[in-house]
């Protein structure tokens, strides 16, 4: 009977696997046309100062609006694009679009805004990566200090020596570096000490249960305190509730990003939000309304 069950499970697994492979193949083919058909768009999710609730920056997040399949999530197509190499032209488009938009915002007088861009592993590993960043800054007359590159721990750990050298070159340019999804990789404290980074983004998985789970609370507090001792700024990802905000404030987290404040939005919507110059009071009203 157990055998029978095993076989059924295997068949189910197999069927699911085939379906999944089919989907991946479809997406891979569709990706080929998507750039030329202009199916991609960048959304921007605001980041806020924990104390003043001023908008300090935005993270550019890729969206694929397929004409028939609808909206496809980055987690569904970025791994595919990475394994096929399609991530290279796609990442170039992302970086260029984000820099262009950041330059526009600067021209409109939003001087303090940081534009954060996710960098893929393949993109970072390319020998011309630093040059390509410098070229874009030049092209859009964007001060390097307005650009923040988000790298994951695994990117930094996989090619440690050349990665650290690149970070120093980027730092020399004046570009900011943030470590994304922090806590999910295996960075040791001593390793962090050698990295020229400005910011750590605490992964959403720790923030999610930070109120209920004392382990997540302990990890979050430890990350903040360690980062501050190293003069590194801390932003919490995935902040969704008032209780999380209170906890993070109490433990001196510097910045917030999450649905509680704002979801990722199209460029035009972000401009409206910036134009409306929401004060802390207005934001507080907005969020308290959302709470009910
Ligand atoms: P990430 O860089 O960690 O981005 C944060 C993700 O968390 C985004 O998902 C964002 O929409 C989501 N998020 C933000 N606040 C909340 C919240 O309060 N609750 C919940 N449940 N989610 C929240 P998204 O846009 O689906 O992106 C997923 C991942 O895909 C990103 O994680 C990043 O690793 C990757 N990605 C997105 N855009 C790009 C890109 O342009 N280039 C590269 N290489 N990767 C990208
Ligand atoms: Mg990110
Ligand atoms: Mg993240
Ligand atoms: Mg992530």
**Phi, psi at 44, each rounded to 5°:** -130, 125
**pLDDT tens, position by position, 119-175:** 999 999 999 999 999 999 999 999 999 999 999 988 888 777 789 999 999 999 999
Average pLDDT, the chain: 90
Hey, which bits of the chain come out as E strands?
40-49, 55-66, 70-72, 114-118, 147-152, 176-182, 199-202, 233-236, 255-256, 265-266
Query: What digits encode the pLDDT tens for the residues 71-95?
Result: 999 999 999 999 999 999 999 999 9
Confidence of residue 234 (pLDDT cuts 50, 70, 90): very high
Residue 27 CA, ligand 3 centroid: distance in Å: 23
Check whether 286 has a pLDDT greater than 60: no
Instruction: Report whether pLDDT(242) > 70.
Output: yes
SS3 224: helix
What is the DSSP secondary-structure string of 94-119?
HHHHHHHHHHHHHHTT-TT-EEEEE-
Residue 261: pLDDT above 90?
yes
For the Cβ of 240 lying below 6 angstroms from any atom of ligand 1, the answer is yes
**Who has greater pLDDT, 160 or 217?**
217
The vertex-61 CA angle with 128 and 36, nearest 5°, equals 65
Residue to probe by mutation, ligand 1, list 73, 74, 257, 267, most atoms within 8 Å of CB: 74
Question: E-assigned strands of 28-98?
Answer: 40-49, 55-66, 70-72
- Give the model's pLDDT for residue 160: 73
Closest CA to ligand 1's atom 16: 238
Q: How far does residue 281's CA lie from ligand 2's centre (Å)?
A: 28
d(CA 146, CA 114): 5
Length of the chain: 292
pLDDT at 292 over 50: no
The residue nearest atom 7 of ligand 1, judged by CA position, is 238
CB of 179 within 6 A of ligand 1: the answer is: no
pLDDT of residue 148: 98
| Ligand closest to CA 201 | 3
Cβ proximity of 244 and 207 under 8 Å = yes
Rounded distance from Cα 141 to ligand 3 centre (Å): 28
Q: Which of 254, 192, 256 is nearest to 226 (CA)?
A: 192
């Amino acid at each position: 009977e157990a055998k029978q069950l095993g076989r059924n499970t295997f068949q189910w697994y197999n069927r699911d696997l085939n379906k999944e492979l089919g989907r991946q193949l479809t997406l891979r083919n569709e990706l080929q046309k998507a750039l030329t058909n202009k199916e991609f768009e960048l959304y921007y999710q605001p980041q806020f100062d924990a104390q003043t609730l001023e908008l300090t920056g935005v993270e550019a997040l890729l969206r694929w609006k397929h004409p028939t399949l609808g909206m496809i999530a980055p987690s569904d197509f970025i791994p595919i694009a990475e394994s096929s190499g399609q991530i290279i032209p796609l990442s170039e488009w992302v970086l260029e679009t984000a820099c262009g938009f950041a330059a526009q915002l600067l021209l409109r007088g939003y001087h303090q805004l940081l534009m954060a861009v996710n960098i893929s592993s393949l993109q970072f590993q390319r020998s011309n990566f630093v040059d390509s960043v410098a070229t874009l800054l030049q092209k859009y007359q964007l001060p390097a200090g307005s650009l923040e590159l988000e790298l994951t721990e695994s990117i930094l750990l996989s090619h440690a020596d050349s990665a650290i050298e690149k970070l120093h070159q980027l730092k020399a340019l004046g570009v900011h570096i943030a470590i994304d999804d922090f806590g999910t990789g295996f960075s040791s404290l001593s390793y962090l000490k050698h990295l020229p980074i400005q910011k750590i983004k605490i992964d959403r998985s720790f923030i999610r249960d930070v109120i209920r789970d004392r382990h997540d609370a302990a990890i979050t507090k430890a990350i903040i305190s360690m980062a501050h001792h190293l003069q590194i700024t801390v932003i919490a990802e995935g902040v969704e509730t008032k209780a999380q905000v209170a906890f993070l404030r109490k433990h001196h987290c510097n910045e917030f990003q999450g649905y509680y404040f704002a979801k990722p939005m199209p460029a035009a919507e972000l401009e409206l939000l910036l134009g409306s110059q929401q004060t802390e009071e207005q934001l507080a009203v907005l969020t308290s309304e959302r709470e009910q």
